A and B are shown apart, each in its own frame.
Chain A
Amino acid sequence: MAIIVIKEKCVGCKLCVKACPFDAIDMDGRLAVINEKCTACNQCIAACKFNAIEKSGEEAGPIDLSAYRNVWVYAEQRAGKLMNVALELIGEGRRLAREISDDTKVYAVLVGEGVGALAQECFEFGADGAYVIDAPLLKNFTTDGYTKVLYDAVKEYRPEIVLFGATHIGRDLAPRVAARLNTGLTADCTRLDVKTSSYIEYARNNTTLDTSDLDPNSDDKGLKQTRPAFGGNLMATIVCPRTRPQMATVRPGVMSKRERAVGAKGERIDVSPKLSEGDIRTRIVDIVKSAKELVSLTDADIICSGGRGLGDPSGFDLIRRFAEKVGGVVGSSRAAVDAGWIAQSHQVGQTGTTVKPKIYFACGISGAIQHLAGMQTSDIIVAINKDPDAPIFEVADYGIVGDLYKVVPQIIDEWDRAEELYDATLRQA
């Protein structure tokens, strides 16, 4: 698909030049000429009063997929600090690159001002190289600025796969870049595979998918991108067979970082961005960092709930401290509300609020059916209760039989060490 100007009809009125959002039309005397910035957005066709511009009917022909090589990871940084998800994706990107072939590489793509120094950190977490796109105009993220430089870089270097963290920035930027490239993008992936054999192994261990029709020795090297849909009720694996690069955003916290190899070396490629102030159509007035705002039970990622097992109303002081520590919201059982220990607005259950957080901590809650009905679809349920026969343990992913007044303070104390504790177990394994 390409936009063409019909010479006989063009009168040189420049209406199309004005209409083009991409500065993709030059005037050659009294004739409009489409240049390489054209994204076939059709704005000029609509603007032309003389029917002198149309979409060429010619089939552009299938693109040469083999012209695209290597895996790119958009290494998102904010205020000069790499986001965790960038490091996770470098680890994942390296795994995928090696599944494609031994000489396929993973590159971190750094965009910003003064971000070259971050390349070393990317190498240490597994990147074979880093593209550094550095300019004062890129100091803060802007959709327009970052889209343009990434689009230009992809056009020039032709990666086979481009991964973004599914952050508020990645989910703003990636769709825009993919649309400009006219390629596919899969949102919020939780699993990626290149080799069919890896995909089969994943599917067998984690899903209900019948894999008998898949050939583990297939030479298909397309990216299989698996993601939840319908509120997590369904999983779909998406492929992008005809266009390149294959692009995906990936949920933070899902992929694993590699262990840091201090002093690791990599190839640094400096890319000089072609960007002017006029390319950026938004102005950042302020960037404010803030602690998590109070969210309602239905939106909460983590809920810390207390029940009659707290013993008395002051028990909610501990639950509040717990919620504050883990960035959660305070919930309660109906029993605690009926006892007058906490306001009804905190009640979880059939007669209260139905919740589906990532983690539900049930502290001193026995698990009456009406409570379970309101929380049992939570991703992870942690139950802490003195009574080993409490029904709450039937739905719990993690059950702890013990005194919540001893267990919860320890969880609070140890919470910030999560990374460290987990890394230690990885090293042992």
Chain B
Amino acid sequence: MAFKIIVCAKQVPDTNEIKIDPVKKTLIREGVPSILNHDDANALEEALKLKDEHPDTHVTVVTMGPPQAKDMLIECLAMGADEGVLLSDRALGGSDTWATSNAIAAAINRIGEYDLIFAGRQAIDGDTAQVGPQIAEKLGIPQVTYVAEFNIDDDRKRITVRRALEDGYELIEIDTPCMLTAIKELNKPRYMSIGGIFDATKKEVPTWGAKDLGVDVDREVGLEASPTNVFRSFTPAPKGKGVMIEADGEKEIADRLIIGLKSKHVI
């Protein structure tokens, strides 16, 4: 019996490339490349590694976003995924994490049976790390987040993962079906292969809208249904001129520096 994995991925702007307009103090989004979110690439890689070992593994990548997110799905197919599904509909726009997870959970239910769902821990544009757990909640399956190491039994029912903590790690056992969220320590994502790119362009990537998902556009998805809204957004104040620490003796200098760092909450 095939082992079915669903990978949740997101196309994100490369936040390292974002610049602030020095006059208008707004984000300059033009010319910023869109990429497959890093943690999601790790999630996909782990699914593909399993597929390398067990060829009957079937990997479906799901994403929600604007129509151009299809490019990212094609990249995933070129890396080795079997199928991609794009959720794109104006009615889904403005969804917060709660509404997003409603849409993706509905899509996963539509895809049908699955053994494992892999997502990245968080996306670099929002950095919330909430959508993975919230999809798991909507689907009623258990989860492990911050997965740094993954092992699965031969019968592919029981999984053992290493879950990273700030001060160490946990070893956790979990049965399929479940949701795991990947961090970069998990693996090194592969590149697209030439043959993969060739095959990917021949594959059809379906686009599903709110109707296909059977979600209630007034109460489950989109801006209006989202419990959270953006009240205001702004750019941080520009960095002020630094201070020179002058004091008698190196100990006093060190103390003042440490107090300064502490007051800025960086240590």
Chain A residues engaging chain B, CB cutoff 8 angstroms: 1, 20-22, 39, 41-43, 46, 55, 78, 143-144, 147, 167-169, 171-172, 174-176, 178-180, 182-188, 203, 206-209, 224, 228-243, 253-254, 281-290, 299, 326, 354, 358-359, 379-382, 393, 395-402, 406-407, 409-411, 413-415, 417-419, 421-422, 425
Contact = CB atoms under 8 A, between A and B. Distances in A.
Contacts of B141: 21
A209 B258 contact: no
Contacts of B187: none
23 contacts: A1-B219, A168-B164, A172-B146, A174-B130, A175-B133, A178-B98, A182-B227, A185-B98, A228-B127, A234-B234, A237-B230, A237-B231, A238-B231, A281-B142, A283-B172, A354-B16, A382-B261, A398-B242, A402-B250, A414-B255, A422-B258, A422-B262, A425-B263
A331 B65 CA distance: 38
B164 A282 contact: no
Contact of B228 (A55, A186, A231): A186
A253 B263 CA distance: 10
Interface string B242-267: 11111000110111011111111111
Contacts of A237: 230-233
A367 B248 CA distance: 26
Tell me what chain B mostly uses at the interface: helix, strand, loop, or mixed.
mixed
B15 interface: yes
Contacts of B140: 20-22, 41, 43
By CB atoms of chain B within 10 A, which of A20, A168, A180 has the most?
A: A168
Nearest to B15: A231
Nearest to B125: A230
Contacts of B170: 284, 286-288
A282 B168 contact: no
A411 B257 contact: yes
B167 interface: yes
B190 interface: no
A393 B244 CA distance: 8
Contact of A179 (B134, B232, B236): B134
Given A229-B125, A410-B251, A410-B253, A236 B133 contact: no
Contact of B257 (A55, A175, A282, A400): A400
A381 B242 contact: yes
B169 A290 contact: yes
Contacts, number: 274
Nearest to A379: B266
Interface in B15-34: 15-16, 18, 20, 25, 27
A193 B7 CA distance: 37
Contacts of A224: 231
A183 B242 CA distance: 42
Interface in B110-127: 124-127
A168 B262 contact: no
Contacts of B244: 393, 398-401
A285 B160 contact: yes
B233 A239 contact: no
B171 A396 contact: no
A399 B238 CA distance: 18
Given A41-B139, A207-B234, A400-B253, A229 B127 contact: yes
B228 A184 contact: yes
Interface of B: 13, 15-16, 18, 20, 25, 27, 96-98, 101, 106, 109, 124-134, 136-146, 160, 163-175, 178, 184, 216, 219, 226-239, 242-246, 250-251, 253-255, 257-267
Nearest to A244: B227
Contacts of B27: 230, 233-234
A312 to B, nearest CB: 21
Contact of A358 (B128, B137, B266): B266
B142 to A, nearest CB: 4
Given A241-B229, A285-B160, A418-B261, A46 B133 contact: no
Nearest to B236: A235
A379 B260 CA distance: 13
A418 B261 CA distance: 9
Tell me what chain A mostly uses at the interface: helix, strand, loop, or mixed.
mixed
B112 to A, nearest CB: 10
A282 B228 CA distance: 30
Given A178-B98, A422-B263, 5 more contacts: A172-B146, A175-B97, A179-B137, A234-B233, A234-B235
A43 B105 CA distance: 10
By CB atoms of chain B within 10 A, which of A42, A240, A415 has the most?
A: A42
A359 B101 contact: no
Contact of A176 (B136, B171, B173, B175): B136
Contacts of B250: 402, 406-407, 409-410
Contact of A399 (B168, B233, B242): B242
Contacts of A283: 172-174
Contacts of A185: 97-98, 130, 228
Contacts of B137: 39, 41, 147, 175-176, 179-180
B267 A184 contact: no
A187 B127 contact: yes
A238 B98 CA distance: 14
Contacts of A1: 216, 219
A147 B143 CA distance: 12
Given A46-B109, A184-B98, A209-B234, A411 B254 contact: yes
A397 B256 CA distance: 13
Contact of A282 (B98, B109, B173, B243): B173
B262 A419 contact: yes
Given A207-B234, A288-B168, A240 B227 contact: yes
B116 to A, nearest CB: 14
Nearest to B220: A1
Nearest to A253: B265
Contacts of A178: 98, 130, 134
A179 B98 contact: yes
Contacts of A241: 229
Contacts of A401: 244, 246
